[in-house]
Structure 1
Amino acid sequence: MNRKTMVLPAVAGLLAPVLVACGGSEGAGGSKAIVVGTTDRFEQTTDAPAPFDPAAAYDIGAWNVLHSTFQTLLRLPRSGTAPVADAAEKCSFGDRNSEQFRCTLREGLKFSNGHALTAEDVKFSIDRARAINFENGPVSLLSNIDTVETPSRREVVFHLKSPDATFPQKIATPAAAIVDSESYDEKKLGNGFKTVGSGPYTLKTEQKDGRVVKATFTKNPDYKGSVKLLNDKVEMRFFDDSTSMEKALTDGDIDIMNRAILPEQIDRLRSSADRGVRLIESPGQEISYLAFNTEESSVKPKAVRQAMAQLIDRQALTRDNYNRTSEPLYSLVPTGITGHQNAFANKYGEPSVDRARAILRGANVTAPVPITLTYTTDHYGQGTEKAFKTLQKQLNSSGLFNAKIQGVKWADFRPEAAKGKYAVYGMGWFPDFPDPDNYVAPFIGPDNFLGSAYRNSKIEDLIPQSRQASQREGAAKFFQQAQEIVADEVPVLPLWQGKQYVAVRSKITGAEWALNASSELQPWELGRGA
């Protein structure tokens, strides 16, 4: 996500003193609300008029909200990677070629406004997202759908353009969130922070100057799905920085924090048991990478991108900037995902100025090459600026590059990057679903979410071939070939793979299940106890 973003305007850090003053909120039935702290940001802008509209939202922070307030036919389970039924009672492929997918809805589904949820709403939601085709949105996850059929009020049939064994995982994402056809315009995005869904919680937000300054999730009494709620209410509180959020946690003003915990905070939080805090660490599939506008003159020659791949020292980057809370990454597909291989390490070996110089000379590229590295100042944590200064130093100390860096607010960064404004820019990626397909397909092809002009017909042929493998281990060989091509042509340059951390007050239960296999928040797992 962006998801995926990916990774787009997320739940935001604002006015910590005001928010801390909201402590002691009471949940439904008199139970005390679980309070989640975050430095993510949700902001309404011209380019993002409706941050919580499923047709537009495509980042981990926004998807955390959508997972709690909307239903999808399927959803990721408490743990594991195989989707389970949610709004659906059952789903399955109706043919051997994985080209027709059938779902039967549960009885009595209802939106938060009281309207009945039927198969027509499912069709409307999918057709709407595809019709709006928001340029920074998740529509690429639905691009293989040919038509959606509704034989009855509870039956939905998806006809696919080509076989796709990953389709169940795709419709388990908020890209396929079900919206009320009477509350949403079929041809355009909404406006503001409205959510009319049928998920486990209803949402109430407070805004100031186009930003969310408070979000309250209340148990939805009409929810019918596979999620079991262990609390009645969850609040999200927003902080300008991780330091003030950490203080709120240790002071007991919030119960849990996840996004974003700085590397230098990890050791402190590990030793905070005497202050009633515990830190949970687990493997993660978040990746960080440099993206290239391959049409921009400074990086259009492949040799320039290859020379950067040859120079960057990922070991030093993760050691000096992330205190080993992340691991060097040498492929788009991270470790722990089927088909991973260290393609960049295999091709480039250890960082080498001499080999980088030879690459540039071989392509008649004159050094030093002038480039600007752009990063976002308020989306991936406070350590981003420090990491980009390290990258700048590594490139410039070689004498082969004259690199400058610039920081841009996320609200401007994401749309400007998609429009090709930056030659080289830093991005993060949380998987939409934990499969190698989701680390390759979103970056390659005519509908790639980066808006990149880069094309490779070989990879574009490998992806549909891989989707015919219902057993995903069988897809590994296709993605290994794709990773080798990416390492050679460098349309993107992987940097590191992050671990997952959750810091939580000692009397909060369920924190071990707070994040699913795609690193998305599962607030319904949180409770109070010993």
Structure 2
Amino acid sequence: MNRKTLVLSATFGLLAPVLAGCGGSDGGSDGGDPIVVGTTDQYEATKDAPAPLDPAAAYDVGIWNILRQTVQTLMYVPRGGGAPVPEAASSCGFTDRENQSFRCKLREGLKFSNGDPVTAEDVKFSFQRALSIKDASGVYALLSNIDTMETNGDSEVIFHLKASDATFPYKLTTPVAGIVSPKLYSANKVRDGFDVDGSGPYTFKGEVKDNTLVKATFTKNPNYKGDLKVLNDKVEMRSFEDADAMGKALDSDDIDVMTRAMSPEQVQAMLKKPKDGIELTEMPGLEIRFLGFDTSAPNAKEKAVRQAIAYAVDRGELISKVYSGMAEPLYSLIPSSVATHTNSFFNKYGDRDLAKATSTLNNAGIEAPVKLTLHYTTDHYGSGTQKEFEVLRDQLNSSGLFDVSIKGEEWKDYRPKQIEGEYEVYGMGWFPDFPDPENYIVPFLDKDNTIGSPYVNSTLRGQLIPQSRREADRSAATKTFGEIQNIVADDVPVLPLWQGKTYVAAREDIAGVEWAVNPASELQLWELRRGSVDPT
């Protein structure tokens, strides 16, 4: 197998994919048959989450992978990364030096998929409903810095922000900022079920069984006007129970592309022995995994307990036993491939120091063993999660300092309980909403954070986070982000564990995979095509 050496830029948006295995075949453009994409993401409507596809409620990479195809945003991050550029808008930009007033002008002839014109009032409505609904997922927090909005005619919308925010253009690229029609979406409540309509590159039709979406069909939207080049006419996405079932579908030619989430065993097998007619694409990963702590719970509220866990965890052993070749140790919330990263947790705790873990508990007057339950989701982050938590349990128990048990639950039950604070210690994964280091900090540490953490640090919230947002030159915020990471390492409201790589397997007649699935595991289905010639 020929492997290319991957060179990572220090800037988030300049990550490039690597191809492994056989090259694609020569050929022309997309044929008549739909391209079929497999995923292990599950889409279920439940009592706690009745509207899985509403942009005002959805805060999950799997669901965003549907919304990004169908609901158009004012801006988007272009192929290959970099600063956001206009999508539904023809132009966007700050109009003041303080980065508090942002103006966008819509493209001419912009239409929803049903042919209705898209106006500035529709944009204002879409943002306001997300802020009004204030869904428990916390996704509205991406827009919570908006103070007021005004329109100028049918084509111009102006956002006035509460405070300076140089990352606001990135937030306009996220699905919660997607434009929806007031005819189809209520201003004050979510849209239940599996209908989704917008002005994006595709229309959507779902096949639902027992309140679960089993197949999504994306058909090229004839009314789409935007910056994206759609290189196929139709894509089907099928949901599989697990990675093994998805792999069998690829082997039997039932699907063309296998996306999130391949199992570690599948990746290792393909790396060691490539399969004829199948190409494996490897990308530097932006996914992170971490333990979260309810800092108001009986044991986790003690900083010494959280610090002792940080001393007792062995990331190297965890990765070698579970994710060999698919992950690397993470010593900060900000991955090493993202600018402003510092190894704050390694600098403070090193790798597994049981003597210091013991003295930390002793100095705080905490009697060992500390009893804890570590919670994890059985079906959301891939097949390795259970084994990962078994290794963590064994590491902590072998220290003699902890009496740890583990408990797994399906995501549909796990996520509501986690948000409500029912877990003292829990596992979470994160894919970035947008390419800026802030998005690895604010969702977990600021007010209205997405994990429902009660942890409050006034220096972080009142000084450092607002200070980082004022820097239009993001490299100028490096010192500020360094201070943030050091505070997190000292207080341990979360414990970073590892960052992953992204792998996608596809049949060799499918081109564009390296752009269709980016390092954040976000699907850009418009990039897929049959044949190796790029018509762009």
Structure 1 equivalent of residue 262 of structure 2:
261
Structure 1 equivalent of residue 416 of structure 2:
415
Structure 2 counterparts to residues 129-278 of structure 1, below 5 A: 129-270=130-271, 273-278=274-279
Q: Is contact 2:268–2:325 with CA below 8 Å preserved after alignment?
A: no
Structure 1 equivalent of residue 513 of structure 2:
511
Q: Is contact 2:501–2:519 with CA below 8 Å preserved after alignment?
A: no
What SS does the corresponding residue of 2:43 show, helix, strand or coil? coil
Structure 2 equivalent of residue 87 of structure 1:
88
Instruction: Report the CA distance between 1:115 and its aligned residue.
Output: 1.7
Structure 1 equivalent of residue 283 of structure 2:
282
What CA distance in whole angstroms lies between the structure 2 residues aligned with 1:143 and 1:134? 12
Q: Would the alpha carbon gap of residues 269 and 94 (structure 1) be closer, same or farther in structure 2, given more than 3 Å must change?
A: same
Residue 464 in 1 paired to residue 463 in 2?
no
Which one-letter code corresponds to 2:394 in the other structure? K
Structure 1 equivalent of residue 497 of structure 2:
495
Structure 1 equivalent of residue 350 of structure 2:
349
What SS does the corresponding residue of 1:336 show, helix, strand or coil? coil
The superposition leaves residues 234-292 of structure 1 with CA deviations (integer Å, 9 ceiling, x where unpaired) of 00111111011112112211111111111111122235644210111111111000011
Structure 2: which 5+ runs fail to align? 1-29
Q: Is contact 1:79–1:517 with CA below 8 Å preserved after alignment?
A: no
Which one-letter code corresponds to 2:500 in the other structure? G
Equivalent of 2:481 in 479, 482, 492: 479
The superposition leaves residues 362-415 of structure 1 with CA deviations (integer Å, 9 ceiling, x where unpaired) of 111110000000000110011100000000000000010000000011001111
Please report the RMSD computed on the Cα atoms of aligned residues, expressed in angstroms. 1.3
Which one-letter code corresponds to 1:231 in the other structure? N
What CA distance in whole angstroms lies between the structure 1 residues aligned with 2:269 and 2:255? 17
Between 155-164 and 113-122, report the one with greater CA deviation. Answer: 113-122
Between 442-451 and 342-351, report the one with greater CA deviation. Answer: 442-451
Which one-letter code corresponds to 1:124 in the other structure? F
What SS does the corresponding residue of 2:104 show, helix, strand or coil? strand
What CA distance in whole angstroms lies between the structure 2 residues aligned with 1:518 and 1:76? 12
The superposition leaves residues 338-359 of structure 1 with CA deviations (integer Å, 9 ceiling, x where unpaired) of 2100000000112111110100
Structure 1 equivalent of residue 98 of structure 2:
97
What CA distance in whole angstroms lies between the structure 2 residues aligned with 1:274 and 1:260? 18
What CA distance in whole angstroms lies between the structure 2 residues aligned with 1:85 and 1:47? 35
Structure 1 equivalent of residue 65 of structure 2:
64
Q: Would the alpha carbon gap of residues 470 and 410 (structure 1) be closer, same or farther in structure 2, given more than 3 Å must change?
A: same
Q: Would the alpha carbon gap of residues 137 and 53 (structure 1) be closer, same or farther in structure 2, given more than 3 Å must change?
A: farther
What CA distance in whole angstroms lies between the structure 2 residues aligned with 1:400 and 1:108? 65
What CA distance in whole angstroms lies between the structure 2 residues aligned with 1:517 and 1:383? 19
What SS does the corresponding residue of 1:150 show, helix, strand or coil? strand
Which one-letter code corresponds to 2:513 in the other structure? A
Instruction: Report the CA distance between 1:113 and its aligned residue.
Output: 2.2
Which one-letter code corresponds to 1:145 in the other structure? I
What SS does the corresponding residue of 2:44 show, helix, strand or coil? coil
Instruction: Report the CA distance between 1:462 and its aligned residue.
Output: 0.4
What is the TM-score when the length of structure 2 is the normalising length? 0.92
Instruction: Report the CA distance between 1:437 and its aligned residue.
Output: 0.5
Q: Is contact 1:250–1:276 with CA below 8 Å preserved after alignment?
A: no
What CA distance in whole angstroms lies between the structure 1 residues aligned with 2:508 and 2:474? 39
Structure 1 equivalent of residue 33 of structure 2:
32
What CA distance in whole angstroms lies between the structure 2 residues aligned with 1:77 and 1:186? 30
Which one-letter code corresponds to 2:476 in the other structure? G
Structure 2 equivalent of residue 522 of structure 1:
524
Structure 2 counterparts to residues 73-84 of structure 1, below 5 A: 73-84=74-85
Q: Is contact 1:57–1:137 with CA below 8 Å preserved after alignment?
A: no
The share of aligned pairs that are identical, in percent, is: 56
Aligned length: 503
What CA distance in whole angstroms lies between the structure 1 residues aligned with 2:259 and 2:395? 30
What SS does the corresponding residue of 1:275 show, helix, strand or coil? coil
What is the TM-score when the length of structure 1 is the normalising length? 0.93
Structure 2 equivalent of residue 21 of structure 1:
none
Between 476-485 and 259-268, report the one with greater CA deviation. Answer: 259-268
Which one-letter code corresponds to 1:202 in the other structure? T
Instruction: Report the CA distance between 1:517 and its aligned residue.
Output: 5.4
What SS does the corresponding residue of 1:259 show, helix, strand or coil? coil
Between 73-82 and 398-407, report the one with greater CA deviation. Answer: 73-82
What CA distance in whole angstroms lies between the structure 1 residues aligned with 2:75 and 2:331? 32
Which one-letter code corresponds to 2:41 in the other structure? D
Which one-letter code corresponds to 1:178 in the other structure? I
Instruction: Report the CA distance between 1:173 and its aligned residue.
Output: 0.6
What CA distance in whole angstroms lies between the structure 2 residues aligned with 1:358 and 1:30? 66
Between 454-463 and 260-269, report the one with greater CA deviation. Answer: 260-269
Instruction: Report the CA distance between 1:30 and its aligned residue.
Output: 7.0
Q: Is contact 2:70–2:198 with CA below 8 Å preserved after alignment?
A: yes
